[in-house]
Each structure stands twice: as structure tokens, then as C-alpha cells.
Amino acid sequence: MGESIFHPSLQLIPFGADLGFSFFLNIFLFIPFGFLCPMISRSYARLSRTVLTGIGLSLIIELSQLFTLYRATDINDIIANGLGAILGCLCYRLLSGFFFQKKYLLSQSPDPLIHFPVILFFLAFFFTFVS
């Protein structure tokens, strides 16, 4: 078609542009991710692991936007998604204290869904190009 496959549109200065409604939407977008990771897999009960996974997923999404038309890669999106993962994980910790007993959260049985967040990485990267 005569189009280049690489279309970089980068914003690498944190909080350099106006933090509008989309910044807060990105936070709310990753709250379910931060909530579901520790809920699905006990290995993501640590806040740092959930947040790093959320930031990694956000980074994959933002880097894949370099290869799509009319999309911009923005550092503010990565920051907002990381904040959303933090809020989601903190909400899980707050609610799990009310609804779950600790013996179920910290049991020694093998975790069958330990690789679920990594699978989400690949699905996000794949569906960026399919959709």
C-alpha cells in the first residue's frame, strides 16, 4: 500500500502534556488488572510483582502502538496504568481481609495460574495487531 510499518509518535516527557480525562481513564483501565492478578494467582499477592507486571503489560501495549497508524506512545499512559495496578492491588488487599481467610491465601498447594499474567502480555501484544 506504500505505507511505512513504523509510525513513531512519542511523548517521553512525564506530565509534559495536559493530564486530561484520558489519564484518569488509563488509571481506571488497570484497576481490574491489579485486582485480578492477586485474586487469580497467589504468586502475585506481593504488591511489587503485580505492579511490575502491570507496568510491563502497559509497556508492551505502548511499544506496539509504534507500529500502528494514528496511535501515540505516551509515558503518561504507562504511569497511569501503573497507578491503576497499585490501586487495584490495594483494593484486593482491603477486600480480601474482609472476605477471605488468610489460610486459603497462603496455602502451600501449587499455583496452577502462575503464568496467567504472562499470557496476558502476549495476548495484548497479539490483539494490538489483529484488531
Residues 14-37 pLDDT 10s: 887 667 888 999 999 999 999 988
pLDDT, position 1 = 56
Given a cut of 80, whether residue 88 has pLDDT beyond it is yes
Q: Which pTM does this prediction carry?
A: 0.72
Q: Which residue would you say has higher pLDDT here, 54 or 113?
A: 54
Chain centroid to CA 85: 6
Distant-in-sequence contacts of 121-128, Cβ < 8 A, 24+ apart:
121/56, 121/57, 121/60, 124/57, 124/60, 124/61, 124/64, 125/60, 125/61, 125/64, 128/61, 128/64, 128/65, 128/68
pLDDT, position 83 = 96
Contacts of 28 (CB under 8 A, 6+ apart): 84
The arithmetic mean of pLDDT across residues 32-45, rounded, is: 86
